[in-house]
Amino acid sequence: MPDLLAARSQMAISLAFHIVFAAIGIAMPLMMAIAEWRWLRTRDESYLVLAKRWAKGTAILFAVGAVSGTVLSFELGLLWPHFMEWAGPVIGPLFALEGFAFFTEAIFLGIYLYGWTKIAGSAHLLAGFIVAGSGVASAMAVVTANAWMNTPTGFELVGGRPDRIDLLAVMQNPHALHETIHMVLAAFAATGFVVAGIHAALLLRDRTNRFHRQALAIALMVGGIPALLQPLSGDVLTRTVAKHQPLKLAAIEALFHTEAGAAFRLGGIPDADRQEVRFAVEIPSALSLLLYLDPQATVVGLDQFPRDEWPPLAVVHVAFQVMVGLGFMMTGLALWGGWRWWQGRLADDTWLLRSLVAASPAGFLAIEAGWIVTEVGRQPWIIYQIMRTADAVTPMPGLWVPLVVFTLLYIGLAGVVVWLLWRHIVATADATTIVARR
C-alpha cells in the first residue's frame, strides 16, 4: 500500500471513529441537562433516573471521544507534518480555543457525573449546561479550522509561508459559519435520533413505560428540531461551496460540462473516463435553480479544471446523495414525530416508533457521508489550492503498520462500546420499569 494512501486511510478512520463520539459529546449533555431540568421542575422521579442513565452512558462515550481526539491532535503531525508546519501558526489558535473549551467540558462533566450529592440541584444543572455549551464551542473551533482548509483566508504569503496572520479573518473564512452550523445541527440530530430509536424500541416492548415516553420526547425534540433546520443549513452551505469551491460542487453533482440550466442528478454513478453519469434521474434545470434561484444560470462543470485536480468523483457524488437522502428522511420523521407529539400521542403510533428504530443510525451515517464529501471532495488538496495532500505527508515509510494498529484498536473499541451500551440499555430497561410503574 502506498504511504500516502495509508496515511489518508488512517486519518479517515481516526476521524470517522472520533466524530461519532464527538457528536455524542456535543448532544448528550444537553439531553441529560434537559432531563434534569424536568426533574427539578416536576419532581417526577423518572426524569432523575433518565438524567442519571444518560449521564452514565455519556461517561463512557465521552472518555472514548477524549482519547480518540487526543490521537487526532497528534496524528495531524504524525501523518501530515508539512501541513502542520505550514498551517500551525494560522489554525493553531483555533485548536487552543478548542483546548480551553474542552478543558471546561471535561471539568464540568466530572462535576456533573460525580457531583450529584455534592452540590445543589441548580448548580448541578448549571454544570450540565456548561458541559453542553462548551461541547458546542469546541466543535465550532475545530470545524472552523476544517472550513479554513476549504477556504483559506486570513494570511499573506511571504516567501511561500503564511505571514501577517489575522485570526479574525481566519475565523471568518467563507465556509466557517455555514460548516460549523451544519456540523452542530448534525451532531444534535444524529444523537437525538439514535437515542430516540433506542427508546422507541423499548417502548414497542412496553408501551406504557413513562420513563421511555419521557426519554423519547426529549430525544426527539433535541434531534428533531435540528433535523428540520438542516436542509436549510445544507442549502446555504452548498451555495457557499458553489461559490468558493466550484470544483468540489461539480464533483458533488457529477457535472462534467459547464452548462446553463444544469440538471440536478438524483442518484447515479459517475464515470470519470467516459464523462457520464449512469443510472441517474435528471431533473431539468433544477441544479441551476437550487444554486442561483435562476433556472437558466450557468453552473461551472469539471471541464473547467485540470483532470489531475479532480477528486474521486464516484465517492463524492454518492456520499453527497446518501447524506442528503438520509437528511430528508430525518426531516420527514421529525415532522411526523412533531405532529404526533402535538396530538399528545407520540408513543401511540406504532409505525412511527418502528420508523424511528429503523432510522436510528441515519444521522451518524449522514455525518460520515458528509465528512466524506468535505474531505474527499477537497482532494487532491489538503489546503484548497495551496498545499497538496501528497506534499503534506510524513516521509516515514511503512505507514501501513500504524494504519493496521489503529484500525484494529478502533474496531475493538467500537465493539466493546456497543456491547457495554447494550448492557447499559438492557439494565436501564429492567430498572426503570420499577420507577415508571410508581
Residues within the interface to other proteins (CB under 8 A)? 56, 59-60, 62-64, 66-71, 73-74, 76-78, 81-82, 84-90, 92-93, 95-100, 102-104, 106-111, 113-115, 118-119, 162-167, 394-398, 402, 405-406, 409, 413, 416, 420, 423-424, 427-428
C-alpha cell at 381: 488538496
Nearer to other proteins, 239 or 424 (CB): 424
Q: In angstroms, what is the minimal distance from the CB of 384 to other proteins?
A: 19
Please, what is the minimum distance in Å from the beta carbon of residue 237 to other proteins? 27
Q: Are 291 and 242 in contact (CB under 8 A)?
A: yes
Closest distance between other proteins and the C-beta of residue 400, in Å?
13
Q: Is residue 58 a contact partner of residue 220, using CB atoms and an 8 Å limit?
A: no
CB of 34 or CB of 403, closer to other proteins: 403
**How many secondary structure helices (H) and strands (E) does the chain include?**
14, 10
Q: By C-alpha distance, which of 71, 57, 73 is closest to 24?
A: 57
Residue 64 vs 316, nearer CB to other proteins:
64
Residue 16 or 229 with smaller CB distance to other proteins: 16
For residue 244, the minimal CB distance to other proteins (Å) is 24
Q: Where are the beta strands (DSSP E) in 147-255?
A: 156-158, 161-163
CB atoms within 10 A of CB 365: 15
**Residue 177 Cβ, how far from other proteins at the closest point, in Å?**
20
For residue 341, give the amino acid letter.
W
Instruction: Please give the grid coordinates belonging to residue 48.
Output: 432523575
Give the integer Cα–Cα distance in Å for 174 and 257: 26
User: Are 14 and 72 spatial neighbours (Cβ–Cβ below 8 Å)?
Assistant: yes
Which residue's CB is nearer to other proteins, number 143 or number 334? 143
In 3-state terms, what secondary structure has residue 258?
Answer: coil
Whichever of 86 and 264 has its CB closer to other proteins, that residue is 86
CB of 128 to other proteins, least distance (A): 15
